């Protein structure tokens, strides 16, 4: 928490297995008017982050952390590539299922 009060820190990212204590970090970030971003796999940590954080991360949004903090075109391009790759995998799974039902595989 002491590092958050340093004037050089403009953003705080908290990711991982954190519980309710993450509320202390988000409060310290709020006091310095910094930007905070957080995600947890712990239910109590998720609930605190959802209420206290400016940008709570839920699920796969963890991979979009860079795009939340900067407007760099490469971050947005990577998100678009992830979306395209996701759709390619979905279509491949559906085509495989149909081919299996028809008897081609």
In which residue are the tokens 């390619």 written?
Answer: 88
Q: Is the pLDDT of residue 63 over 90?
A: no
**Averaged confidence pLDDT in the chain:** 83
Q: Tell if the pTM clears 0.85, that is, is over it.
A: no
Please tell me the predicted confidence (pLDDT) of residue 71. 75
Q: Is the pLDDT of residue 88 over 90?
A: yes
Top pLDDT among 80 and 58 is at 80
Is 17 strand, coil or helix? coil
Architecture of domain 1-69: 3-Layer(aba) Sandwich (3.40)
Q: Which residues contact 56 (CB under 8 A, 6 or more apart)?
A: 38, 39, 46, 49, 50
Confirm if 36 and 29 have CB atoms less than 8 A apart. Answer: yes
Is 14 strand, coil or helix? strand
> What residue spans define the domains of the chain?
1-69, 71-105
Confirm if 10 and 36 have CB atoms less than 8 A apart. Answer: no
Please tell me the predicted confidence (pLDDT) of residue 54. 67
Please tell me the predicted confidence (pLDDT) of residue 25. 84
């Amino acid at each position: 928490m002491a590092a958050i009060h340093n004037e050089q820190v403009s953003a705080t990212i908290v990711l991982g297995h954190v519980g309710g204590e993450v509320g202390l970090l988000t409060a310290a970030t709020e006091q310095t008017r910094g930007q905070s971003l957080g995600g947890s796999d712990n239910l109590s940590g998720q609930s605190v982050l959802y209420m206290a954080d400016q940008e709570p991360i839920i699920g796969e949004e963890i991979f979009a952390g860079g795009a939340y903090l900067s407007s760099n075109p490469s971050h947005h391009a990577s998100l678009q590539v992830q979306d395209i790759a996701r759709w390619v995998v979905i279509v491949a799974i559906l085509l495989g299922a149909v081919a299996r039902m028809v008897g081609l595989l």
